[in-house]
Structures are given as C-alpha cells and as structure tokens.
Amino acid sequence: MRLYIIRHADPDYPNNTLSPAGHLEAAALARRLAAHGLDHIYTSPLPRAYLTAQYTADLLKLPVQTEEWLIEVAGMGWMPEPDDPDDSIPAWDIPGVMLRREPGFHAWDTWHTRPPLDAPHMRAIYERYTANADAFLARHGCVRDGVAYRIAADNTLRIAAFCHNGTALLWLAHLLHIPPPLVWAGFWHPPSGVTTVLFERRSEGQADPADAAPRCLSVADTSHLYEARLPVQPRGIRGNYG
C-alpha cells in the first residue's frame, strides 16, 4: 500500500479558502497525482483542504471523502501569537534549536514530559490523533501491530489524504516511529507538499511476512510546482525563508 500525505495548497486564511496561488498549485498537484493513479481520495473538512483535493478528484473522476480527524490538530498551542493574543503558536512551530538541545525530547518515553510539552492534554491529543490514524489505515487492510503494521501482499492501494501541516507532521512521526519533537524540529510541509509512504513488506528474515514497516519515499515533495514554474509558498515558515 502507498499513502500520499498532502498538505493543502496555499491558503487564504481570512476568507477560509485558497489563494489565487493556491488554485494554481492545486491544479499542478492534480496533474501529478493523476499520473500516479489513486484508488481513494480523503480530505480534511476544512475548505482549504477539500478545495485542493477536488482538483485531483475531478481529473481522476473519483469521489472526495471527508475524514473529520484529518482536520488541523488543535489544542497543542505553545505560546500566544505575538500579533494575536487570542491565538497560539502550535507545538510544531517551537524553535527547532530548543527541541534539539533538550535530550528529553529525543526519546519516546520522555518527549511529553518536558516543558512546554508536558501538559497532560498534549499527550492525550497525540494519542487520540494516532488512534484515529490507525483506525483509518485498518479500514484499508493495514493494521497496526506494535511498531509495525500487518498488511496483505496483494494490498496495492494508493491513497491520498489531504490535510494540514501539523496533521501531516504528527502522522509522519507516528508512522516512522520518531518522537514528534524531532519531526517538528526537522521537517516542514509547504503548501501542496506531498509525503509518500510505502508500507514495505519483506519476507526474508522476518518472523511474519505480513509485517510491514512504513518507509518514507519522499517528504513534502513539491516537484509539481517546479514543473509548473510555480514558487514554493513559505506558509508556516517563521524564519529567514527568503
């Protein structure tokens, strides 16, 4: 099975839609995904995600199915936004240097025990999200078993899930068995970026040939933008992108 985790195209946040650049990105992305071929298209319920997905669905003549759990992760605020005290900076935007310098963030059994990630609700949100993600995969014949998954040899599904930066990063951490702070410190999903995960089965040397380990073939790839001569928009980058 192959899973495409896709961040929505460039958003127009105030109007709850895509920006003009976002529509161009979504069209370029659709051409790329149509060349791959898909069996299922799923999306977050937020307009910036399902509008992005609709471009691909229209090309492939597939329905867009909404999954509520693919909505942007909420409740993992770190500190108030400087320009909007009613909003908060999410955990995946904690400065990477802070996360790398604290060894407690680098292990599964301690990443949620160090401030500012030690509030009980942080771990609860992560566990609720990953439970929903695993239930979703189980519906497609890929069942979580410890740190791996059980999957049939004839499972060749190609599934696209259109979601958000925080959602994509949390899912990637879970699939690759990397503590979330290390993923937050080291990765970013640009608008319309595509992460491709293969659930790789190997029979030699395994206790059970049905076991599969998710292997990331690419992270946040934007080759479709380069092909279309479109710039990568820096939504979610808070430093010196330019």
For 233, the token pair is 């928009």
Instruction: Say if residues 9 and 191 touch (Cβ distance below 8 Å).
Output: yes
Residue 27, in any domain of the structure: yes
Residue that wins the pLDDT comparison between 169 and 86: 169
Residue 72, in any domain of the structure: yes
Q: What is the mean pLDDT of residues 170-182?
A: 97
Residue 190, in any domain of the structure: yes
Task: Convert the pLDDT of each residue in 192-220 to its tens digit.
Answer: 999 999 999 876 655 566 788 999 999 99
Give a three-class secondary structure readout of 114-182: CCCCCCHHHHHHHHHHHHHHHHHHHCCCEEEECCEEEECCCCCCEEEEEECHHHHHHHHHHHHCCCHHH
Task: Give me the CATH number covering residue 123.
Answer: 3.40.50.1240
Residue 233, in any domain of the structure: no
Residue 20, in any domain of the structure: yes
CA atoms within 13 A on the CB side of 134: 17
Task: Convert the pLDDT of each residue in 32-81 to its tens digit.
Answer: 999 989 999 999 999 999 999 999 999 999 999 999 999 999 999 988 88
Looking at the DSSP assignment, which residues form a beta bridge with residue 64?
A: 41
Residue 204, in any domain of the structure: yes
Residue 154, in any domain of the structure: yes
Q: What is the pLDDT of residue 87?
A: 84
Q: What is the pLDDT of residue 82?
A: 81
The model's pTM is 0.95
Q: Is 109 exposed, middle or buried (0-12, 13-18, 19+ CB in 10 A)?
A: exposed
Quote the number of domains for the chain. Answer: 1
Residue 237, in any domain of the structure: no
Q: What is the mean pLDDT of residues 146-170?
A: 94
Q: What is the pLDDT of residue 6?
A: 98
Q: Is the pLDDT of residue 83 over 90?
A: no
Task: Convert the pLDDT of each residue in 220-235 to its tens digit.
Answer: 999 999 999 999 999 9
- How far apart, in whole angstroms, are the C-alpha atoms of residue 189 and residue 7? 7
* pLDDT category of residue 85 using cuts at 50, 70 and 90: confident
Q: What is the pLDDT of residue 217?
A: 97
- How far apart, in whole angstroms, are the C-alpha atoms of residue 89 and residue 106? 21
- If you search the block for the tokens 């949620």, which residue do you land on? 112
Terminal alpha carbon distance of the chain: 37
Q: What is the pLDDT of residue 203?
A: 63
Range of the domain at 15: 2-227
Q: Is 97 exposed, middle or buried (0-12, 13-18, 19+ CB in 10 A)?
A: exposed
Name the average pLDDT for the chain.
Answer: 94
Q: Give the C-alpha distances (Å, rounded to integers) separating 180 from 58, 72, 189, 200, 241.
A: 34, 15, 14, 22, 23
